Amino acid sequence: MPEIRNRTVRYGQVVALDDVTFAVQSGERVAVVGPNGSGKTTLLRALAGPGTAVVPQNVPTDLALGCREFVMLGRTAHLSAWHAPSRADEESVDRALASVDAADLAGRRMDAISGGERQRLAIALALATEAPVLLLDEPAAHLDFRRRDELMALLARLDRTVVMTTHELPFDTDFFTRVVLLARGRIVAEGRPEDVLSSENIAAAWGVPVKLRTVRCASV
């Protein structure tokens, strides 16, 4: 499982992560939240390594690749040099496509699908690696609320440990077992969503006064 201890990351003069210690437990679903520039992406990158698959924020829109070939890239580490994908590789890609409800996209091209479809395929690529931990960088950033709900439902169905960054509040806290709140490169609060996402904590992290209300809407 990914873990960092007393990690500091600098970009020139900028301290992006400031002495952060953080460990992910198997089966956890962690939201890393905080304002822009608070170090979320840097933390995610610091956690990346063996056993993790990173789902990037943006997949290029002009990839001249078939969707199935794109997901097969997740098998690169498993493919022996100069060999065609094995039956196990093909099966892994089939499972990954099915997991994100994208079996019907297999024959399409990456440069002729929607942003939401590209994102599902990026998740499928990560699943095809068979890594037990998914690190997702702002996966909900460009989605409307309905697509966001669908994404969270999809992630909930996957049998993976998940670490996901977001700068957007509110979000579907029911999905997460832990929330880590970052501000200026430091973890300023972490724990259960209902404890961490208090008006006080959010006001302190964002530097603006906020008052949170819980709004629940029935599903249509």
- Residue ranges binding ligand ADP (CB under 6 A): 11, 14, 16, 34, 36-42
Which of 42/129 has CB closer to ligand ADP?
42
- The least distance separating ligand ADP from the CB of residue 89, rounded to whole angstroms, comes to 33
Which of 128/135 has CB closer to ligand ADP?
135
Which of 14/153 has CB closer to ligand ADP?
14
Task: Name 164's bridge partners.
Answer: 31, 136
Return the structure tokens found at 100: 């994100």
Which of 6/13 has CB closer to ligand ADP?
13
Q: How far apart are CA 191 and CA 172, in angstroms?
A: 16
Concatenate the DSSP letters of all residues of 50-77 into one string. Answer: TTEEEE-S---TT--SBHHHHHHGGGGG
- The least distance separating ligand ADP from the CB of residue 104, rounded to whole angstroms, comes to 33
Which of 127/183 has CB closer to ligand ADP?
183
- The least distance separating ligand ADP from the CB of residue 205, rounded to whole angstroms, comes to 11
- The least distance separating ligand ADP from the CB of residue 56, rounded to whole angstroms, comes to 12
Return the structure tokens found at 123: 């998740």
- The least distance separating ligand ADP from the CB of residue 184, rounded to whole angstroms, comes to 9
Whose tokens are 């929607």? That residue is 114
Which of 33/96 has CB closer to ligand ADP?
33
Name all contacts of 93-102 with Cβ < 8 Å and 24+ positions apart. 93/68, 93/124, 93/128, 95/127, 95/128, 96/71, 96/124, 96/125, 96/127, 96/128, 97/68, 97/71, 97/124, 99/124, 99/127, 99/154, 99/157, 99/158, 100/124, 100/127, 100/154, 101/154, 102/67
